[in-house]
Amino acid sequence: MQLDVFTLIPQAFAWLTEQRPVAAVLGDELDLRLFSYRDYTPLSGSQVDDEPYGGGAGMVLRVDVVAAALEAAYGGSPAHRVVALTPQGRQLTQEVVEELAGEERLTLLSARFEGFDERVLAHLASDSISIGPYVLSGGELPAMVLVDAIARRLPGALGSAESGLVESFSAELEGGLEYPHYTRPANFRGWPVPAVLLSGDHAKIDEWRRRQSRLRTAG
């Protein structure tokens, strides 16, 4: 998958690319490219933002700057999906992640300041996604959330045991496989690990985990 991220802070992604699961699929199943709006701005002095028409607080990421960056990367309008990250977008769920991970090429647009000039959303992006009903200062964290969640769904991202489990449960669980985890000690301060996990009976353990997953995702 080719995953392109347009951002004002490409260096913010450095740590993400060094960690699993992204590091495990980089250069193989995942071709992650970072584009800085400032590298392509047609404006002088690396300008990318401007005051809003009609006045008001904050600066707005200019539509001509975003268009120039897309033009430089694709030589025209991209034929593939271009997702803008906005607090008002479609809420991110595991179902949305699965959908995005199925794309061969995907572009993520992030903004800062007061966000995008509305024409970016109307004419340059195909759709918009929010990572939750709250407002962050920029689209870098939302983009990283998406890159991480998508990378986990690519072949080879997870260890074989974990990935097998996720595959077998993901169709049934909108939130992905999610059950309680325990490790040693088996009893700490009188807080015991559920006995089934110590039983060595993998059929029973699987059944218990499925039940726990359903309980968690039910609400």
The contact set with ligand SAM (CB under 6 A) reads 85-87, 110-112, 114-116, 130-132, 134-139, 142
Structure tokens of 158? 């997870």
Nearer to ligand SAM, 25 or 100 (CB): 100
Nearer to ligand SAM, 133 or 190 (CB): 133
Q: How far is the CB of 214 from ligand SAM (least distance, A)?
A: 28
Q: Own/partner pairs for 14-20, CB < 8 Å, 24+ apart?
A: 16/144, 16/147, 16/148, 20/157, 20/158
Which of helix, strand or coil describes residue 5?
strand
> For residues 141 and 2, what is the distance between their CA atoms, to the nearest angstrom?
19
Reported residue count of the chain is: 219
Q: How far is the CB of 44 from ligand SAM (least distance, A)?
A: 24
Structure tokens of 109? 């647009």
Q: How far is the CB of 91 from ligand SAM (least distance, A)?
A: 9
Residue nearest to ligand SAM (CB): 139
Nearer to ligand SAM, 122 or 186 (CB): 122
Nearer to ligand SAM, 21 or 139 (CB): 139
Nearer to ligand SAM, 108 or 158 (CB): 108
Which of helix, strand or coil describes residue 3?
strand
Determine how many CB atoms are found less than 10 A away from the CB of residue 214: 13
Q: How far is the CB of 126 from ligand SAM (least distance, A)?
A: 15
> For residues 135 and 124, what is the distance between their CA atoms, to the nearest angstrom?
22
Residue 59 has what DSSP assignment?
-
Q: How far is the CB of 156 from ligand SAM (least distance, A)?
A: 28
CA 137, chain centre distance (Å):
16
